[in-house]
A and B are shown apart, each in its own frame.
Chain A
Amino acid sequence: MSIENTEFRPKIVAFCCNWCSYAGADLAGSSRLVYPADVKIIRVPCSCRVNPMFILRAFEKGADGVIMCGCHPGDCHYSTGNYYARRRMTLLFSMLDFIGVENGRTRVEWVSAAEGVKFSQTMNEFAEKIHSLGKNVRLEDLRCRKN
């Protein structure tokens, strides 16, 4: 595509669970609550479907930030999925921190189907944070980079 911005536009991957956060994102949309186009959403059945591998892969492929959203603790459609997700992400994020990936590049947020405003706010904040952190260079596999 010819659309090329010289200004840094981060690549942000958002994993959203089907029942709460994806619906929250839909509500943000139908309420016309603006957030940056840098955020691209991947729908997963539950936050517990998010394999830490997916997040590492995103960084490897050049993502600058990854956010995972699920139902509020206690409200998981599958009862316990978000608890597993929370533990896995805690572990993964501390490991990423250890290897030098800034803490702010990853985030977990609980967004219910009724929280369109929260979804939009979260994405605005997160995009701003990634913008201030700049390009992810630590984990990107340069062989994966196009151009």
Chain B
Amino acid sequence: MQRIGVFVCHCGSNIAATVDVKKVVEMAKLEPGVVHAEDYQYMCSEAGQAKIDAAIKEKGLTGMVVCSCSPRMHETTFRKAAERAGLNPYMVEIANIREHCSWIHKDMEEATKKAVILMRAAVAKVNLNAPLQPGESRVTKRALVIGGGIAGIQTAIDIADAGYEVDIVEKEPSIGGRMSQIDKTFPTLDCSACILTPKMVEASAHEKITLYTYSEVEKVSGFVGDFTVDIRKKARSVDMDKCTGCGVCQEKCPSKKTPSEFNRGLSNRSAIYTPFAQAIPNVPVIDREHCIKFKTGKCGVCSKVCQAGAIDYDQKDEIITQKYGAIVVATGFDMIKLDKYDEYAYNQSPDVITSLELERIMNAAGPTKGHLERMSDHKAPKKMVFVQCVGSRCSDERGKSYCSKICCMYTAKHAMLIRDKYPDVDVTVFYIDVRTPGKNFDEFYRRAVEEYGVHYIKGQVGKVVPQENGQLLVQASDLLDNKQILMEADMVVLAAAIEPNPDVRKIATMLTASIDTNNFLTEAHAKLRPVESPTAGIFLSGVCQGPKDIPETVSQAGAAAVKAIGLLAKDKLMTNPCTAKPDELLCNGCSTCANVCPYGAISYIDKEVNDHGIREVRRIAQVNSALCQGCGACTVACPSGSMDLQGFSNRQILAEVDAICR
């Protein structure tokens, strides 16, 4: 029989306000095996843990139940406390009477009753717990960063500076990401390229960093400390070692009608191209879909003009398999598609553009060489209208419910830059709310209004109608004056919502990292573990976790790097001892369990068993506890009931069921 201690936490008033903790303690004392029960204000505090320590030692406890918050919050805390007092950490169970009880029930009697039942279930489980010993697994001292934007670059540099090998996988031909498309950055108006390109060079020149551009992650297996990843290096059709980056091939390429992804379709590029002049690596790729040689077999101009002989039409995709200890996801974002927003006439008029397109227009290396002009007739605009929250904070199906966070600031930036360079251009911004929290952010916005004379109107734009004279008629409401506005504009700029990169769902599935309804990766804890995925060994950097600006992205990238370094610095990891275990006498070696195991952790051996005095050699299942992740698929599949999961055994779960239904 176990000697169980039950510790009931008040959690200040979080639990005690709706659950009668004294009653829970009283009822706990009646449960079989319970030799000690007490309550305390904060069990997780030092004083609370001291109580646990004392009770374990004085009462000789062999198991304990903590009635407190979710095990996802403090299970580790209490397991460590138990271990310090000499109790096996796996003899601890948590009854979640906060998230699953006190916080969601109002009636004290009802909540107390439920808390007692949850306590009983946990006591019933602990009665059947057995001490478990974690195994050890090794750590591959190499990190993978998925995504080569500013988030990925910063994380990679930070990890590499700590002395570990890092690989960056970027699906585009160059690293740089969204930040390379941006002209100036708020609130200091630094030129984006001037602060990004040195980082790109640093990453590519770093002896510990390997870049895989024009590459994608194809397959991920393994677990924390020991991931195996297949990277598909797409065929560039250009030999990276031979190419000198002279650019003649791009000049001479006869196929020049492909919309440039980098310039958001505002200009065209050749079929052999580097996305932008400062691309790293400065090696072009052939876009096989648009290349005349690949389409018709005739052309080969690039190959003829390339003095280095770097063009290789026969190059094939290459699969690189590499082992990693940690994986950082830095897949970034894109603007939402505006197909469903017909009212803004984005698809009807070239003078209705998104903010990122404006960013390219304002950029000296952009499609208009930095001159602000309308895309339809290349005339300088006199009146510009900015529309905020296009698809952000949207209540219907078309958009996103969240705030994209960066739009208020970049629109203030655009307005300010335009008014500064072209003082005769009238700028009007339609907004729902102006949200500018951040260091020097609100001051920046105030400057746009007060110094630069940007007109801010609280109200939504209902419709943008292209007129025959080339103007755009903007229909809007002014919520403060409570009137309708009709206004002609030369250009309309839409602050489209940002959304996670569409590829992130595929990547998250491969990594078994959880993802929310908006496709942002979920963090292990919203406040306390914001850069870690709940999946061990996976870290989050940048906008893949939630909307954020560049300063926040860089700080999160550094934080993700530190967490990854903390993992890589370990020589060994303790493995989860809650693994599957077969009962040798019941196993008949049928292989059903091995067929459902996602980790290939089950093999078969011929072993002599002693079945009630009969000694014979039988083929029985054997679980490699280093590979087993403890999902329990095999336990249910096993037709003879031989396989069981330690820590979540059949008897334990049945005991919980019984306690709840009692």
Contacts and interface: CB of A to CB of B under 8 A. Distances in A.
A32 to B, nearest CB: 6
Contacts of A132: none
B658 interface: yes
Nearest to A55: B657
Contacts of A96: none
Interface string A52-70: 1110011001110000000
Q: Which of A29, A37, A57, A81 has the most CB of B within 10 A?
A: A37
A54 B653 CA distance: 7
Interface string B174-185: 000000000000
Given A45-B578, A74-B509, A81-B631, A54 B654 contact: yes
Nearest to B654: A57
Which secondary structure dominates where chain B touches chain A? helix
A75 B508 contact: yes
A42 B99 contact: no
Interface in B483-525: 508-509, 512, 514-517, 522
Contact of B111 (A19, A37, A120): A37
Contacts of B248: none
B596 interface: yes
Contacts of A88: 636
Interface string B614-655: 000000000000000111110111000000010010100110
Contacts of A43: 71, 96
Size category, B interface? 35 or more
B100 A42 contact: no
Contact of B596 (A44, A51, A84, A113): A84
Interface stretch (B41-49, B102-110, B296-304, B550-558): B102-110
Interface stretch (B112-120, B465-473, B562-570): B112-120
A79 B510 CA distance: 8
A109 interface: no
Given A37-B101, A45-B648, A54-B653, A75 B515 contact: yes
B70 interface: yes
A20 B632 CA distance: 16
Contacts of B629: 78
Contacts of B118: 40
Contact of B661 (A11, A28, A50, A120): A11
A92 B164 CA distance: 51
A112 B514 CA distance: 8
Contact of A1 (B73, B99, B113): B113
Given A19-B514, A57-B654, A48 B633 contact: yes
Given A3-B109, A23-B72, A28 B104 contact: yes
B104 A35 contact: yes
A46 interface: yes
B310 interface: no
A78 B121 contact: no
Contact of A13 (B73, B98, B113, B660): B660
Contact of A78 (B27, B112, B631, B661): B631
Nearest to B73: A26
A44 B653 contact: yes
Q: Which of A18, A20, A49, A61 has the most CB of B within 10 A?
A: A49
Contacts of A127: none
Nearest to B653: A54
A63 B654 CA distance: 13
A40 B509 contact: no
Interface in A72-100: 74-81, 84, 88
B60 interface: no
A30 B27 CA distance: 26
Contacts of B662: 61, 146
Which 7 pairs from chain A and chain B are nearest by CB? A29-B99, A49-B632, A114-B516, A61-B661, A78-B631, A48-B633, A46-B631
18 contacts: A3-B110, A28-B104, A37-B113, A40-B118, A41-B96, A43-B96, A45-B648, A46-B633, A49-B631, A49-B648, A51-B635, A51-B650, A77-B535, A78-B512, A81-B631, A84-B633, A84-B637, A114-B515
Interface of B: 27, 70-73, 96, 98-101, 103-107, 109-114, 116-118, 121, 508-509, 512, 514-517, 522, 534-535, 578, 596, 598, 629-633, 635-637, 645, 648, 650, 653-654, 656-658, 660-662
